[in-house]
Amino acid sequence: MARDAGRARLASGRAYEDHSRMRFLITGAAGFIGSHLCRGLVAEGHDVVGVDDLSEGSLENLAASPEVRFERVDICDASSLGEVARGCQTILHHAARKSVQRSIEDPSAFDRVNVRGTLTVLEIAREVGASVVFASSSSIFGDQDRYPLTEDMEPRPRSPYAATKLAGEAYCRSWWESLGVPTISLRYFNVYGPGQDPSSPYAAVIPRFVMACLGGDRPVIYGDGLQARDFTYVDDIVEANLLASAMPDRARGRVLNAGAGRVPTTVADLLSTIASLTETSPDPVHRPAREGDIRRSEADISLARDLIGYAPKVAIEEGLRRTIAWFRERSAS
C-alpha cells in the first residue's frame, strides 16, 4: 500500500501530483463506481469519507474498505452533507439516480437528486473550500451525425436522465467561472466491472449478460443488437478521477470524455465475447428497443489525454475476463 509513500502515485505507477495525502468526500460511495473509488483512494494512501443514502447502493460494496468513514446521508440534505464534508479537499460527486428508463417515468425524482443534489454538493464545496469532480454521462450526446464524439458537439439529450447530467455539467462549469470552485466534469461511457448490480430490469448490459450466461438463462437483447457502446473498465475510471482531482489549471471548469476510446462494441458482439469467455452458447431473447436509448457511443478521449493525462489501459476482453471471474467467485460463495 502506498499510504506512507512520499509522493502519491496512480495504480499504474505514474505520479499525478505532489499532494501525498488528501481527504476525499465520495458521494454515492456505496454504489458501483463509488465503491471502486473508495478502494482506489485508500490504496493510494488518502483519507476517504463516503456518503450514500443506500437507495441503490449497498454497504456490502464497501466491506473491503474498512478504512472508509461511511455516513448515510442524502446529498440533498445540505446541513448533514456540510458536516461530513468539513476538512475535505476534493469531492468526487457520484451520487445520482441513473436509469434512463426510470427517468422517463419519474423525471422529478431525477431532477431532485441529479440537479438539486449537484447544486447542493457545489454549495458545500464552496463552503468548505473543496474542488469537485462530477460524474457526467455520454448520454448527453444523444444521437449524433459524426463519430467519435468530441466534447464540443451540441448536446442532444434524449432522456430526462441525460438532461439532468447536462444541467450538472453546466452548474459545475459556472461554479468555476463565477465562484472560483475548481470543477471537472467527466463524461463516462458505459462503465463496467466487478460489483456492478445485475439484478434490476434496469441493470447495465454487461452484468445482465454475464449473469445470464453463467446461470444458463436467456439474455435479453433490446433492439437489433447493433447498437454500439464504448465500454470502459472501472479501473480506468478510478484513474481518471485521480488525475482529475489534481485539478490542472487548464482543465478547470471543463467537460472531458472518459471512455475507453477504442472501436465501440455492438451489443451482439458483446454477447458473443461473453459467451466465448464463459464457454456457453446462449440463445438470446429479442425485445423492442428501449425508449431513450442511443444508437452509438464512441469517445474521442484526446482532450482528457491532453488536459489530465488520461490513458485508459484495460481492453474489453481483459475487462470482461476480470468481471466474469468476479461474478463466478461471487456465485460460488
Binding mask 91-110 for ligand NAD (x = CB under 6 A): ---xxxxx------------
Which amino acid, one-letter code, is at 331?
Answer: S
CA-to-CA distance for 52 and 54, rounded, in angstroms?
5
Q: Which stretch binds ligand NAD (CB under 6 A): 50-58, 144-152, 172-180, 311-319?
A: 50-58
57 vs 148, beta carbon nearer ligand NAD: 57
CA-to-CA distance for 56 and 191, rounded, in angstroms?
16
2 vs 228, beta carbon nearer ligand NAD: 228
Residue in this structure with the C-alpha cell 445485475, named with its chain if needed? 198
Which amino acid, one-letter code, is at 317?
Answer: E
Residue 135 parent element (H or E): strand 131-137
Residues with Cβ within 8 Å of residue 102, at least 6 apart in sequence: 109, 110, 161, 202
Q: Known catalytic residue: 222?
A: no
Identify the active-site residue in 16, 161, 188, 233. Answer: 161
2 vs 113, beta carbon nearer ligand NAD: 113
Instruction: Tell the smallest beta-carbon distance from residue 216 to ligand NAD (Å).
Output: 26
DSSP string, 10-22: -TTS-B--S--S-
Instruction: Tell the smallest beta-carbon distance from residue 74 to ligand NAD (Å).
Output: 4
* Interaction between residue 55 and ligand NAD (CB under 6 A): yes
Q: Which of 100, 55, 324, 62 is nearest to 201 (CA)?
A: 100
Instruction: Tell the smallest beta-carbon distance from residue 15 to ligand NAD (Å).
Output: 26
41 vs 75, beta carbon nearer ligand NAD: 75
> CA 110: distance to chain centroid?
17
Cell of 270: 458483446
Instruction: Tell me which of 33, 41, 91, 274 binds ligand NAD, using CB under 6 A.
Output: 33
Catalytic residues: 161
Site residues for ligand NAD per CB under 6 A: 28, 30-34, 52-57, 74-76, 94-98, 113, 117, 135, 137, 188, 190-191, 204
